[in-house]
A and B are shown apart, each in its own frame.
Chain A
Amino acid sequence: MCASLLASPAQSAPRTPFDDATVIEKLPFRAGDSRARELAALRASARKAPSDAVIAAALAQAYFDTAQARSDPRFIGYADAVLSPFDPQMSVDLLVIRGMLRQYRHDFDGALGDFAAALAQDPERAGAHAWRGAIYLVMAQYDKARQECAALLDLQRPVLQGGCTGLVQAYTGQLTSAYATLQKTLALARYDEQHLWLLTRLGEVSAWLGHKARAERHYRDALALGRDDAYLLAAWADFLLDNKRPAEVVKLLAGWEASDPLLLRLAEAETLLRVPAAIAHVQALDDRFAAAKLRGDTSHRAEEARFQLRLRNNAVLAVQLAAANYQVQKEPRDLRMLLEAALAARDPDAAKPARDWLQSTGFEDALMRALAEQTLQLPPVVKKQVMAP
C-alpha cells in the first residue's frame, strides 16, 4: 500500500532480491577510472582542507565538467554544495563557478549577478565576460552580448571573442559573416574542446544556411575528436532528423538513454522508424518529465514541448510549454519549437513572438522563415475550439 502512495511516476513496488549477487544499480564510474580517481582525490583534499577556496574551486569545476560530459545534473548539485559553505565570502573563482551552475539551472539573473560580482573583483576575468555573453544570447539581448564580445576583444582573447561574435552574428541575420568568423576562430583554437565546440557551431550555421554537405562535414570532424559531448550529439541528431535519416540517429544514440535530451531524439528516430523500442522510450520520457514536475523543476520545458508535439501529438500542451520556455530561453531552437507547436495547434497568435523575433533579428534560416509564413496562413481561430487530437 505504501508503494501506491509513493509520489513516484514510475511503477514502483519494493522488492527483496533473492540473491546477494543481484546488481541493483550501475554507477557512472568504476573506482579505477581516471575521472573517478581525479574526483576522489580532489574530494579527499577538500575534506582535509574544508576552508581552502582553491581546492573547493578545483573540485566544483571538476564536478561541473563531469556534469557536462555525462549530461548528469547530480554533479551540478555536488558542485553547488562544495561552494555553499563559502557564501558570502566568495573568491572570483568560486563566483564564476557558481554563475555557471546557476545558468545551468536557468537562473540567468542569479548567474549574471555572480559574473558581475566576479568582474567587480577582477575586471580582467575573461571567462565571466564569455559566460555573460552566452547568457545574453539565450535571453536574446544581442546588444548586451556584443558588449561582452567587445570586452573579450579588449582582453585579447581571440578564441572566446570569435566564438562570441560568431554567434551574435548568426543570431542576428548575418549567417555568412558568422560562418566566416567561426571558421577564422577555428584556425586560432588550440584545444580539442575548442575545436569541438567551434565545429559544432559551424555545423549548425551551415545547416541554417542550407549547406547540408558542409554541415555534415563539420559535425563529422567534431565527432572524430572522439570526446563525449552531449550537445554535439544532440545537434548532429537534430541535423539527421531534419534530413530524414533517423536510422543513423538510432545508431548514434544507443547507450545515451540516461540523458533526457538525447533520449528524446532517440525516441523520435525510433518512432519514425516504427521500432518497438520507441514505446518504452516514450514512456520513459513521460516518467522523467513527471518526475521533474514533482520536484518543481521547470527547466526542461523546451524538451517537454518537443516531446508533446512530436511524440505525444498534443499540440495544445506543446504550445503552452513552448511559450513558457520562450519566456526564459530565446535561442533559434526554442523559437522553432514555438513555431512548430503553434502551427500544429493551428494557433497563429501563439507564434507571434517567434515571427517578431525573425523580423527584428533577420535570422536567415529558410526552414524557420517558411514555418513562420505558414503560421500566418492559418485562419484566426477561437482558442477554445482548438483541441488536442
Chain B
Amino acid sequence: MGESAMTMGARPGALTEQSPYGIESKKLAIWLFIIADAATFGAILFAYGYLRVANPDWTRPFEFWPTIATGIAMTVALLTSSLTMVGAVRSAQAGRKSASVGWLGVTVALGLVFVLLLLLEWSAMIGAGWRLSKNPLGGSVLFGATFFGITGLHLLHVICGVVAIAVIAMGFNRDRLDAGHVETTGLYWHFVNLVQMFVFPLVYLMNVR
C-alpha cells in the first residue's frame, strides 16, 4: 500500500507507521472484532453443550420436514450470500462499482431470505408451545432457552450485517466509501455465515428426532 493511501485523511505532517500486518487499520479492527465475536459464539455453544450433556431428559423434537429442510435452506442461503459477497468485494477492488453494488444487493436479499425463514420457524415453534422457559413435550425447558438464545443471537448478527451491507452499498455507490469498506463489511458477513456452519449441525442436526 502506498504511503499516500496510508496518510489519506490524516492532517498534514501527521506521523504514520506502516501496519505490522500490511493491512488497513479498519481491516485489522474488523479481524479483532471477529475473533472476539467468535469466542462469544464459542462460549454460548459450549454452554449449550454443557447443558445438553448435564440434562439426560433433553428433548429432540426436530423432524426433517419442516425444521431440518428449513435449516438446510437457511444454511445454503447464507453460504451463497458469502459467494455473492466475494463477487462484490472483487468487483469493488477492480473498480466495477455498479457490478459491486449489484452483488451487494443480491447478498442483502439472501440475508433477508435467511431472516424470513428463521422467523417463520420461530413462529411455528412458538405456535407449537415452545418458549424460552417452556417445553410442550415435557422434557427439559432448557431446550427452548438454548435454541431461541443461540439462533436469536445469530439472527441479530445477520440483521446487523444486512443493514451494514445496505449502508455500505449506498455509500460506495455515492463514492463516499471505498473498496476497503466493502471488504471489511465482507469479512464480518463471512464470519456471520461461518457461525451458521456450527449452529446448524449442533443446534438443528443434533436435535433430530
- Do A and B share a complex? no
